[in-house]
Amino acid sequence: MLSAYKKCPESFFIGHCQHLRIKGTNIHLHAGASFAKGLEVCRKAFWDEGKSALEAEEIGLKALYTAYGDVVLEQGASGDKSVEGIVRGYESYWLEYPLGQDSTKPHKFANGKHGIEFSFGQGLEINHPETGMPLLYAGRFDMLAEYNGQLWVQDEKTASQLGEQWNRNWDLDSQFTGYTWGAQSYGLPVVGAIIRGVGLLKTKVTHQEAIRFRPAWQIARWHEEMLYTITDMIRDWKRMHFVKSLDKSSCNSFGGCQYRHLCESPTPEKWVDSHYETVVWNPLGAH
């Protein structure tokens, strides 16, 4: 929600206050979620249930197929996020990072379970403008990992292209600063994030890993800026006016904003019923 607001306040309002989503399935989100489900189920089978690596990979593969379903999605100009492409990425991932031999492993808690698919939600110093209850900062990442004797946030990202630009994306990225803060808020001495990219190309699968420390001063700066941003969101809500960015970096990035139809029309309300549906996103209850 914070990312959407910083990109375009109007987009945030339409998507997260009016709960409108363009009809149809987003290929990037659907493919990424299916891939993540396969890894999650595989890891739990191996680390929590004691299955062999081969058994765990087969169990995870079935979960991936189930999550992807029988939808047929229009492919982009680059990359392959069809079910076949996701399966190739899944199989390639375990060749690149073999179970039990990986440089990272999930942290084991006192109850015997491992930190696979770690979710958190923490109250903030700012209250909701209507309920008066503390607003929550919530997040979910793929694994609480042990690496080189330290605790890390670990998350996998499917992509159509990896490389130097992909690597630079995570230098200042607020998502992983927030994840680090969220894990630390539970008393876990997390030092930063490990982001693993899986490039799903039409002819091959590529891999890239980015390791980013998040020192205390960066987390403190992020926290302060985050509260300022939320204050702006509440101000916009109270006056019921959210600025439209109307900028190429917001309107055309990642294939184009899904709300462009509304901004391009003098009568946006006429587009709602035919092009959009109501989807309420609940980061705490969805998983």
CATH of the domain at 97: 3.90.320
Q: Which residue has the higher pLDDT, 199 or 26?
A: 199
145-164 pLDDT, tens digit each: 999 999 999 999 998 889 99
The arithmetic mean of pLDDT across residues 85-107, rounded, is 96
* 283 domain residue, yes or no: no
Cβ(215)–Cβ(183) below 8 Å: no
Residue 59 and residue 51: Cα distance in Å, rounded?
Answer: 9
Asked if the structure places residue 223 within a domain, the reply is yes
Q: How many domains does the chain have?
A: 1
Domain assignment present for 96 = yes
Check whether 175 has a pLDDT greater than 50. Answer: yes
CA distance linking residue 277 with residue 261, whole number of Å: 14
The pLDDT of residue 100 is: 93
Token readout for 72 is 């047929």
Q: Is the pLDDT of residue 32 over 70?
A: yes
Q: Mean pLDDT for the chain? A: 92
**81-89 average pLDDT score:** 92
Closest among 100, 193, 196 to 151, alpha carbons compared: 193
Quote the CA–CA distance of 211 and 241 in Å, as a whole number: 39
The answer to the question of residue 287 being in a domain is no
Residue pair 27/5 in contact (Cβ under 8 Å)? The answer is no
Judged against a pLDDT cut of 80, whether residue 178 lies above it is answered with yes
By the 8 A CB rule, do 148 and 102 touch?
no
User: Is position 62 within any domain?
Assistant: yes
Domain of residue 264: give its range: 2-278
CA distance 124 to 106: 28
- pLDDT beyond 50 at 70: yes
Q: What angle do CA 205, 256, 19 make, to 5 degrees?
A: 105
DSSP secondary structure string for all residues of 99-125: TTTSS-EEPBPTTS-B-EEEEEEEEEE
Residues 197-240 have pLDDT tens digits of 999 988 899 999 999 999 999 999 999 999 999 999 999 999 99
- Mind listing the pLDDT tens digit for each residue in 130-149? 999 999 999 999 999 999 99
The reply to whether 48 falls in a domain is yes
pLDDT band at 75 (very low <50, low <70, confident <90, very high): low
Q: Is 176 part of a structural domain of the chain?
A: yes
